[in-house]
Structure 1
Amino acid sequence: MNYQTWKCKSTINGNPLLLTNSMAGTWHLYAQAYAGNSSYTTLTPNPTIRVLRASRLTVNASPEPVHKGRTITVAGKLSRAWWDDELQYHGYANQPVQLQFRKAGTSTYSTVKTVHTNVYGNLKTTVTASADGYWRYYFTGSTTTAAVRAAGDYVDVQ
């Protein structure tokens, strides 16, 4: 018998307006490969893909500027596409989101604490001002929603 190996790639196109929120998560695919002689084989194990709702995340650190040792309030909102509402974005409730800081002149963010969104997806916490730098929120994602990072908000500490 003459065996050949083939690599195949497939793209699944869909209309998100036809999706409902309950469809987000892991999809199990059923795939078969057909030969020219009408024989076929079924791919096992069946491959899976994750279909995730898009997410958005904002951040606002204030006051700007702030005196060293004073309190900074870091607010934001985590929202995600609501497929049941024609792709509008709604707050994502009760989700853990990391507050991260990057000192001015460096390139790496460090997690300071984890904050949970309220029932509207809003975030709010306080930290002590110690150095100039950027504050951002980072959501690691969930089984139904994509990960997202807010752009850093610079705070000048005097």
Structure 2
Amino acid sequence: MRIRATVAAVSGALALSALALPAAHAAGTAAPSYQEGAAKVLRAARAAHGMSAFTAAKPATGRPYALHATFSNLKIGKAYKVGTTNHVALSVSYTLTHGTEVNIKASDFATGPYIYKGVSSNPSKVIFGDDAATCTATSSTVAVCKGDIDIHPSDGLLENADAGSWNVGALAIKWNGQQGKANPDLSKVGVAEKGGLGSTLIQRNATLTTDASPEPVKKGATITVKGKLSRANWETGHYGAYGSQSVKLQFAKKGSTTWTTLETVKGDSAGNLKTTVKASVDGSFRYSFAGNSTTSAVTSASGFVDVK
């Protein structure tokens, strides 16, 4: 079983929510994963600074001290489409500047990016990577780090309302011998973290179909072009209708790679699309949806019609 470490606001407190743990972890007898450790340290670090979203959380053993490290030059993709089953990795790079007491190659040092909903001081949800980032030193106190933020939609972590803009942050942890302990003494752990380093869109993946008929058809006759727009429903784990959206009907003549928009069709409440055109020349039809902040753009496979 993969450990899912998520931080979410529950009754005003930032806590590890929806945390699926193997039995050994739940019993406190096994070492936490990078995700689990990062979530615990981040929560404790925020509580140490009196941030309201954390102060009501379940107390940890000790609170971490401030690690001499800062983050800059963070880069992440503009948008990521997430379906219902496939793992999606958000690749992130950033510059880590640290004190001379920080050894980025030490076995008890870890750093990584994360995304969160809402404001940094009071996020409603936080997602980390499955593993820590890897860093390459460019000087004795500067390194370029690269890591993934991992989304596993089949875990049931995402709700449909989570689609849209997410903010990006990064953290660094110096475990000082506490790494690998099920219940580490966090007062011995150094942590640096920073939100507001960037943003990205997490979109519900969309699917689109096109069916042009009849085929073949006589010149001048009516062609009916149907289709359906759907998108991932993260709460049910299936794709559902995306209704009342404007979608472009496009046409390309046989032998051409140039697509021309014939008209814009608005789907019904069930996502169904339907329009008619007059048959003129051989060619292919397709529907194309431009997408929006919550749902990915998508273009259907084309349907060829032979005009006699």
How high is the TM-score relative to the length of structure 1? 0.87
Amino acid at match of 1:149: T
Selected match of 2:230 from 68, 79, 82: 79
The corresponding residue for 1:54 is: 205
What is the CA–CA distance in structure 2 between the aligned matches of 1:60 and 1:71, rounded to whole Å? 14
1:9 aligns with 2:160: no
Gaps of 5+ in 2: 1-138, 175-189
What is the CA–CA distance in structure 1 between the aligned matches of 2:261 and 2:166, rounded to whole Å? 32
Kept in 1: contact 2:163–2:203 (CA 8 A)? yes
Tell which has more relative contact order, 1 or 2 (C-alpha 8 A, sep 6+): 1
What is the CA–CA distance in structure 1 between the aligned matches of 2:210 and 2:253, rounded to whole Å? 16
Percent of aligned positions that are identical: 46
Write out aligned runs for 1:122-137 (5 A).
122-137=272-287
Selected match of 1:31 from 170, 174, 178: 170
Alpha-carbon deviations, 1:72-120, whole Å to 9, x = none?
Answer: 10000000011111x2111101111110001001112111111111100
The corresponding residue for 1:65 is: 216
Selected match of 1:19 from 158, 180, 187: 158
Instruction: From the CA coordinates, give the structure whose radius of gyration is larger.
Output: 2
Distance 1:6 1:60, change over 3 A: same
Does the residue aligned with 1:59 lie in a helix, a strand or coil?
A: strand
Q: CA RMSD in A?
A: 2.2
Gaps of 5+ in 1: none
Selected match of 2:294 from 139, 144, 147: 144
User: How many residues get paired?
Assistant: 154
1:93 aligns with 2:93: no
Distance 1:104 1:19, change over 3 A: same
Q: Normalized per residue, which structure has more helix?
A: 2
How far 1:10 moved relative to its partner? 2.2
Kept in 2: contact 1:33–1:42 (CA 8 A)? no
What is the CA–CA distance in structure 2 between the aligned matches of 1:27 and 1:119, rounded to whole Å? 28
How high is the TM-score relative to the length of structure 2? 0.46
Amino acid at match of 1:25: G
Distance 1:74 1:4, change over 3 A: farther
Amino acid at match of 2:160: N
How far 1:34 moved relative to its partner? 7.5
Kept in 2: contact 1:71–1:127 (CA 8 A)? yes
